[in-house]
Structure 1
Amino acid sequence: MFDGESVLQETIIVKVRKTQQQPSTIRITTSSTSDFSDVRSFETPYDTVVGKNEYVYLVTNEDDADVLQKINHFDKTFPEINLKMQTGIIVDFRTREVLRNELEEGAYPLLYSQHIKGG
């Protein structure tokens, strides 16, 4: 649909089956191409993806799942330690004019998941 446009379009296909028992793992399969030529699949623990708060976290690779597992074991939330975090506000390739290479007063860092390593 958007092949001729410079629009990033994500599509999520979800397969869910209602059961009496909670599964121990969830299989996640991803592709970044429209022809599915780069399909990758992995399993991760159910409680990593489906949080106690009933949010479903969309991880797309094992590294993201590992980071999420570590975060799920924190004993405090970000607001409890005076940190505020928002997602989805800045998309780097759409807002290049507001991004900075050097530290500037009043600016905040733009962090990616690859910036979080080793816990």
Structure 2
Amino acid sequence: NKVPHPFLLFIYLIIVLMVTTAILSAFGVSAKNPTDGTPVVVKNLLSVEGLHWFLPNVIKNFSGFAPLGAILALVLGAGLAERVGLLPALMVKMASHVNARYASYMVLFIAFFSHISSDAA
């Protein structure tokens, strides 16, 4: 019951995206561009023309996503904190000094942290 490697998750999502664009372009789906009102037609990424557009634009799409830098820094920081044992130690320290009245809130907080650090709880 393990989650696949993140690289495989990206590959699976790209495959789902390509199949979805093939289906939507076959039905002629389009949307209105909110800035100028022109129609934007779905491109079939499984066609030769779609692959010629997709492959050179992959890096531009990822680098053009503004929050990507913050997300990568957050993921790197959380991974480092988990590997060096900071998150499990922090959970034990927090749980040992909690009032009985706030124990249920602490359990929720620790559950949140254990979700972030997969094997700490």
TM-score using structure 2 length? 0.23
Largest Rg, 1 or 2? 2
TM-score using structure 1 length? 0.24
Decide which structure has greater strand share.
1
